[in-house]
């Protein structure tokens, strides 16, 4: 199973790199390459758009800040909420796939990355009792002269700031993410993304905003096979 997964990941990553490279953020490489010594974001260690030393900031809990952006302006995040926040940070900074959704007017940003509804719901559940003071993490902070972020408004629970997982996913990071109408052709920030990327990188997927039933069916079929193989691998290692 691992050999199958690694081979598939290599094929997908290769095609992504050749066409998209990396975003042009301040911590991004020009193109993806292996980072075997990553402290966090290891999902992307075989082909990463960030350097291993960047991930040191995410390696210990609680995470205080990433670069100049503080995560604890409304108190430390709970471990469950922090884990999801790390997944988003890792994807933006390190994923070789992020540039597939590069913003048309800002090459350091992403737009409309399709997230699975289940991921958004789980993320919301993990964070709903934590506190936050901005609706949009990209635009609503007050930044001081040293480039550090501060609250302009009072801290309130995530459950008051966002109505549900869909609202949070589609507004917390501006237009960076959207909730996919598909339950398979979407990202969950885990190994299952290898299945979805095979179809999300296809020409037909790029040319159409709609999801064909054949693509959905094929994706679901391969995902079930992947989950079965992964389960069997888990049984063998016990």
177-215 confidence digits (pLDDT tens): 999 988 889 999 999 898 888 888 774 444 344 556 677
For residue 80, is pLDDT > 70? yes
Specify the pLDDT at position 20: 62
Specify the pLDDT at position 43: 96
**pLDDT over 70 percentage in the chain:** 80
pLDDT in tens, 211-237: 566 777 777 777 777 666 665 555 555
Specify the pLDDT at position 70: 97
Specify the pLDDT at position 207: 39
What is the rounded CA–CA span in Å between residue 40 and residue 125?
23
Tell me if 34 sits within 8 A of 24, measured CB to CB: no
Average pLDDT over residues 131-160: 97
Give how far Cα 52 sits from Cα of 44, 60, 188, 194, 216, Å. 10, 14, 22, 21, 35
What is the rounded CA–CA span in Å between residue 161 and residue 140?
13
Q: State the pairing for strand pair 131-132/142-143.
A: unpaired
What is the rounded CA–CA span in Å between residue 206 and residue 200?
7
Residue 153 pLDDT class (50, 70, 90 cuts): very high
What is the rounded CA–CA span in Å between residue 157 and residue 155?
7
Give the residue among 24, 32, 71, 23 at the shortest CA–CA distance from 51: 32
Strand partners, 102: 110
pTM, two decimal places:
0.82
**What is the chain's mean pLDDT, rounded?**
85
Residue 2 pLDDT class (50, 70, 90 cuts): very low
Fill in the DSSP letter of residue 73: B
Give the residue among 128, 139, 113, 191 at the shortest CA–CA distance from 165: 128
Specify the pLDDT at position 212: 61
Average pLDDT over residues 54-74: 95
Average pLDDT over residues 81-104: 96
For residue 149, is pLDDT > 50? yes
Specify the pLDDT at position 228: 67
Specify the pLDDT at position 226: 66
CB contact set of 34 (below 8 Å; sequence gap of 6+): 45, 46, 47, 48
Q: Using N-to-C axis directions, what is the helix angle for 193-200 and 213-236, rounded to 10°?
A: 150
**Dihedral pair phi/psi, residue 69, rounded to 5°:** -100, 115
What is the rounded CA–CA span in Å between residue 95 and residue 114?
14
Give how far Cα 4 sits from Cα of 7, 56, 102, Å. 5, 30, 29
For residue 41, is pLDDT > 90? yes
pLDDT in tens, 116-126: 999 999 999 99
Q: Where are the domains of the chain?
A: 28-196
Average pLDDT over residues 82-98: 97
């Amino acid at each position: 199973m691992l050999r199958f997964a690694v081979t598939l990941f290599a094929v997908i990553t290769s095609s992504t790199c050749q066409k998209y490279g990396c975003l042009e953020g301040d911590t991004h490489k020009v193109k993806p390459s292996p980072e075997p010594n990553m402290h966090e974001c290891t999902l992307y260690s075989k082909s990463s758009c960030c350097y291993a030393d960047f991930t040191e900031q995410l390696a210990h809990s609680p995470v205080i800040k990433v670069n100049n952006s503080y995560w604890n302006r409304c108190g430390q995040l709970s471990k469950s909420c922090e884990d999801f926040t790390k997944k988003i940070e890792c994807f933006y900074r390190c994923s070789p796939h992020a540039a597939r959704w590069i913003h048309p007017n800002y090459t350091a940003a992403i737009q409309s990355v399709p997230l699975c509804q289940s991921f958004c719901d789980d993320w919301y559940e993990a964070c709903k009792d934590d506190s936050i003071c901005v609706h949009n993490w990209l635009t609503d902070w007050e930044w001081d002269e040293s480039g550090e972020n501060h609250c302009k408004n009072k801290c309130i629970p995530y459950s008051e700031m966002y109505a549900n997982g869909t609202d949070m996913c589609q507004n917390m990071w501006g237009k960076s993410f959207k909730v996919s109408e598909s339950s398979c052709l979407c990202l969950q920030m885990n190994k299952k993304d290898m299945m979805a990327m095979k179809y999300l990188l296809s020409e037909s997927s790029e040319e159409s905003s709609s999801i064909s039933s054949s693509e959905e069916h094929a994706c679901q079929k391969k995902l079930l096979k992947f989950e079965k193989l992964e389960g069997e691998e888990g049984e063998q290692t016990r």
